[in-house]
Amino acid sequence: MAAVAASIAATATLAACSSGGAAPDASGAAGGGEYVTVVKLQGISWFDRMEQGLDATATERGLQSTMVGPDDASPEKQVKIIQDLIARQPAAIAVIPLSPQSIEGVLGQAKAAGIKIVTHEAPGQKNADVDIEAFDNTAYGEHMMENLVQCMGGEGEYVTFVGSLTAASHMEWAEAELAYATTNAPGITRVSDPIETKEDLTATYERAKEVLAKHPNIKGFVGSAASDVAGIGRAIEEAGLEDQTCVMGTSIPSTAGKYVETGAVDKMFFWDPAITGEVLLTVADMLAKGETIDAGTDLGIEGYTNLQPVDGATNTFHGDAWIDVDASNLSDYDF
């Protein structure tokens, strides 16, 4: 996917990139045709890749797209960013929340101001017009655990890392993993509650070393944030435990691929963030034009040609867009 990106400066806690349409004026305000995506964290590979999809889609559709986000994994900073955006009166705001609960109030303010709201990784977000998921979160968590169980030979201790204990999707995966293991692999035990890493690779690396020290027989690791898998892989590689452990989870090649190559990480699962950017901007544009998202909606995007409702959430729909990558097909993905 070709990216047409133009970077603009912002404050210490707010970086943004725009493409397509007219640029904001000198005050930073923009016209009603602006589409803004608020990500969890600026400057990491996952959202750099998402920005490519946003930019390419904006160019294709003739839209003005801006991506913004905090400079660290702070829900409070994300809330402040959304508050500041309301005054700009964009046509739509898409958000990947650090904490869905934390942003409910400010999303309600944005909706009251007539701004369309799309969320991702936040099933059931009450003040979103639509939440779009790449897949059913329970099925994805079960899939990761099924692969871990096979790698571990059906027995041993494991641990799950999450970017945040308030990240709805990460916690759903962790719950589904535990439920799958409990039902299908009684010889496998989770040694602790999910461990929070704040989406920070160094913090993950330190937590992984602590787990190795505390649980010398640990056999399995599952990472939920892209940085989790890389941080765990680094700790495993340094300890020389590539052949004694199974490391899996959500990441992308540019973040954790080198550890797949060395065997410190056994398998990654992900959905292409560039396609997510395309999906978010497409849905935001549809809503702004008065169109609706329903069961069976075809966005014309791979993995999102037959959207299905998420159980228990009237405004949430999922596609079928996850990808499995190990050493055998790592070279097929260049991001």
Q: What is the DSSP string of 192-260?
A: SSPEE-TT-HHHHHHHHHHHHHH-TTEEEEEE-SHHHHHHHHHHHHHHT-TTT-EEEEE--HHHHHHHH
If asked whether residues 231 and 83 sit together in one domain, one would say no
Model confidence at 134: pLDDT above 90: yes
* b/e sequence 254-290, b meaning 16+ C-beta within 10 Å: bbbbbbbeeebbbbbbbbbbbbbbbbbbbbbbbbbee
**329, part of any domain:** no
Model confidence at 290: pLDDT above 90: yes
pLDDT for res 55: 98
pTM over 0.95: no
Model confidence at 10: pLDDT above 70: no
Pairing of the two strands 246-250 and 218-223:
parallel
Could you say which of 270, 292, 311 is where a domain stops? 270
Average pLDDT over residues 260-274: 97
**333, part of any domain:** no
pLDDT for res 312: 85
Q: Compute CA distances 130 → 214, 257, 317, 318, whole Å.
A: 43, 33, 8, 11
pLDDT for res 31: 41
**331, part of any domain:** no
If asked whether residues 110 and 224 sit together in one domain, one would say no
Model confidence at 40: pLDDT above 80: yes
Total domains in the fold of the chain: 2
pLDDT category at 142 given cuts 50, 70, 90 is very high
What digits encode the pLDDT tens for the residues 60-117? 999 999 999 999 999 999 999 999 999 999 999 999 999 999 999 999 999 999 999 9
pLDDT category at 121 given cuts 50, 70, 90 is very high
If asked whether residues 63 and 175 sit together in one domain, one would say no
pLDDT for res 7: 33
**1, part of any domain:** no
Q: Which domain holds residue 151?
A: 137-270
**330, part of any domain:** no
pLDDT for res 4: 32
Average pLDDT over residues 270-296: 97
Average pLDDT over residues 187-209: 97
pLDDT category at 32 given cuts 50, 70, 90 is low
pLDDT category at 17 given cuts 50, 70, 90 is very low
Model confidence at 333: pLDDT above 70: yes
What's the mean pLDDT when you consider all of the chain?
Answer: 91
pLDDT for res 30: 38
If asked whether residues 111 and 257 sit together in one domain, one would say no
Report the CATH number at residue 159.
3.40.50.2300
If asked whether residues 303 and 254 sit together in one domain, one would say no
